[in-house]
Structure 1
Amino acid sequence: MSPKESIELVKKDKNRHAVLVFDEDKLVTFFVLHEKEGVTPYSSNEQAILIRAFSTDFYEQGKGYAKAALQLLPNFVLEHFPTINELVLGVNLPNTAAQPLYKKCGFVDEGKIAKGFRVEIKVMSYYIRKINS
């Protein structure tokens, strides 16, 4: 889903929050944080938030923007979503370029696979703080 399509959904759903990453005046990375029912297919943790539609402008890939955004995200979430304790994302299994990036940024693969639109999705989590059991 494109950033433009994602923003249209954000306008209609109060549980979706668009995050735009700029380098000076240029949009370089985009994603949506989706609360509540958005995370349900990927996690049973009610205090988790889903990162969806994560994309970096094709001409800006390989410059570290995605990595920087992911590294800044836990503190951003703690500040703006204080009840959240887990970040969840789904990455298409064939997307072998993104998976090591997510691991380097602290996301863990616990072996969970979900169905995507066209391919299976590997579910990965980043634990901001200990989950209360």
Structure 2
Amino acid sequence: MAELVYLTIRKYTKSDNANITSYYLPEDQAIYTSLPQSVVEASLLDESQIPFVIYSADHLVGCFALHTHQAKMYGIENPHALLLKSFSIDARHQKRGYALKTLQSLPALAKQLISDTNELVLTVHHTNIPAQQLYSKAGFEDKGMRFEGEYGEELIFHYRLA
């Protein structure tokens, strides 16, 4: 019998600060992403970055940001694409289906945020095989686009919205 996963995915608010400061990722995972505190700080400097939090019951289990104008940095010419960045699930809450459920919820969330969004784009480090497999399972496609990131080659995954 499959366990049902209930999540609340919403924009970050200041009331999330206490939970964000106790967020945990081991170093071998943190090298691939930004911690929530950094995501929030970056959003204060750039309003095109919108931080989101993921809760299960009262527990902060994840975080990510949607960027409204940065997909073109990665060679994406589509002006209606949103960029997903800094997606992570707190290590204490991994292996419970939260990541997949969140990714499956993103198309509706993106449309709700900006109605003419027709594509989600994300980047993933070429050595982060578990994340690549997760993104593929959630319906994102690797169309062969690459770029040289700060720490090496990054793959660009796409999800076409209906």
TM-score by length of 1: 0.92
* Structure 1 Cα separation of the partners of residues 79 and 67 of structure 2: 12
- Match of 2:78, SS state, is coil
Q: CA RMSD in A?
A: 0.9
Count how many residue pairs are aligned between Structure 1 and Structure 2: 128
* Structure 2 Cα separation of the partners of residues 120 and 64 of structure 1: 27
* Structure 1 Cα separation of the partners of residues 71 and 58 of structure 2: 31
TM-score by length of 2: 0.76
Equivalent residue number for residue 3 of structure 1: 36
Equivalent residue number for residue 67 of structure 2: 34
Equivalent residue number for residue 71 of structure 1: 104
Greater gyration radius: 2
* Structure 2 Cα separation of the partners of residues 33 and 46 of structure 1: 14
Structure 1: state its 5+ residue gaps.
none
- The superposition leaves residues 46-81 of structure 1 with CA deviations (integer Å, 9 ceiling, x where unpaired) of 110100011110111111111000001101111111
Kindly report structure 1 stretches of 4+ aligned residues shifted beyond 4 Å.
Answer: none
Structure 2: state its 5+ residue gaps.
1-33
The one of 117, 121, 130 equivalent to 2:154 is 121
Give yes or no for contact 2:82–2:110 (8 Å, CA) kept in 1: no
